[in-house]
Structure formats: structure tokens, C-alpha cells
Amino acid sequence: MKEKVVLASSLCKQYQISNLTIEALKNLDMEVEKGEFISIHGPSGAGKTTLLNIIGGLDKPTSGKIVVFGHDLGTYDENFLATFRCAYVGFVFQSYNLISTLTAIENIAFAVELAGWPGDRIGKRSENLLKLVGLEHRANHFPAQLSGGEQQRVAFARALANDPPLLLADEPTGNLDVETGLEIVRILEKTKSEGKTVIVATHDERILKLANRTLRLHDGRIIDTNE
């Protein structure tokens, strides 16, 4: 039996906006095994981003339990969660979310540094990651000077900086055209082949095809699972 990387039980998440309570996740249960490639899809507002945020330790559930790599994330403080993210999680956002004041290589180096790499190896590691996504010629460009596809590739390189066992990607091709999206799919394919656990929220058919399992989320609940 494979190791359980993610274990969610009765997961609920509510947001309060003025007098309105929005239930983003409702009693959600899920398990992810090591090395699995999970895709999550569903309509806008189904709770995909919220689920990824909770698995990545960016957000805490209102109730229920979320255990990732044996850590019950609902019980930890912000400092521990930061350490946890450094050690286990790589995150790719739909809107790239690069740090605008750092160049492409610095964005990656920042994450490498946070992951605790020794100072003399940060540069080399960052260059290798940039090469991996084919952007070594854009190393000293700032995010505002990169195209959407290039920014997303840098974001992938940054997410892989700490060599995370779990990669979370939220609509990684959502803002990209078909051609540019293909490059992202290739990176995801490579990540999968390295045996990392990947959870992707997506509507992109090409990514869905890569998945071992596809979860269909609707109104905060998993309504369908395709193996």
C-alpha cells in the first residue's frame, strides 16, 4: 500500500462576507497517494482553489481535518506552516504571482534560499531550474518584461526550487494560449515522471489526460471521481 500524502476528512471551509456566509467546501473527504497525479475540475466557485490552498497550508479549514505528509495542518501556527511549505510544497498560481521587484532568476533564487540551500549553491540551482523551463536567456528580466507563458514557466521553476514532494497548481494554463499552455503541460508531464505528487486544478483537457485520477468538484463537494 502506498503512502498517503494527503488525507482530508470532513473538510469544511466557510467565508464570511458581511452577513453572507459562503461555504466553499462542504464535508469533503479525499486521499492522495504518493506519486499520484490528481486533477481537479469543476465550475468556477466550486472550491478548487480553496481546496488547493488548504492542502498547501496557505489556509486553514473551518472544520474537519487535513493531514499532509503526516502533519495535521489545522493545528499549526503560521511559522510552522511556512516551514512546512518550504519543505513539502511547490505552488503554482493561475496568475503567476511572481515577485515584481525580482528578476526571473532572482524569483527562483529567492525560493531556493528559503528552502535552505547553502549560499554558494543557490545561483547554480537557480540557473539549472531556469534551464529546465527553457528561459536561461531571460534570467535578468523582470516579470513585467516577460510574456504570460514565460512568467508561468518561471513560476513552475520557482515552485520546483525546493524540490518539493508535492506540487500544487491552480489553473496553470488558465491565462495562457494553447501553444504556450503546451509548454506548461510538458513541464507537468516531466514532474509526474519524476515521481512527485501533483494536484492540479484545471479545465485543460491535455492536463486532465495526464492525471491518474480526476476529481469533479461542485458546490464544495466531490461529486465524481474518474480513475
If binding is defined by CB under 8 A, does position 110 make contact with other proteins?
yes
Cβ atoms of 117 and 111 within 8 Å: the answer is: no
User: Hey, which bits of the chain come out as E strands?
Assistant: 4-17, 20-33, 37-41, 63-68, 71-72, 89-92, 166-170, 197-201, 213-218, 221-226
Q: Binders of other proteins: how many residues, by CB under 8 A?
A: 33
If binding is defined by CB under 8 A, does position 178 make contact with other proteins?
no
The region of 3-11, 32-40, 138-146, 216-224 touching other proteins under the rule CB under 8 A is: 138-146
Helix, strand and coil content of the chain, in percent to the nearest 5, comes to 40, 30, 30
For other proteins, the binding residue among 56, 165, 181, 220 (CB under 8 A) is: 56
If binding is defined by CB under 8 A, does position 12 make contact with other proteins?
no
CB of 107 to other proteins, least distance (A): 9
Round the CA-based radius of gyration of the chain to a whole number and report it: 17
Count CB neighbours of 177 within 10 A.
Answer: 11
CA pair distance 70, 137, nearest whole angstrom: 40
If binding is defined by CB under 8 A, does position 114 make contact with other proteins?
yes
If binding is defined by CB under 8 A, does position 76 make contact with other proteins?
no
Binding to other proteins (CB under 8 A) within 77-96 occurs at 78-79, 82-83, 85-87, 91, 93
Residues that bind other proteins (CB under 8 A): 53, 56, 58-59, 78-79, 82-83, 85-87, 91, 93, 97-103, 106, 109-111, 113-115, 140, 142, 144-145, 158, 162
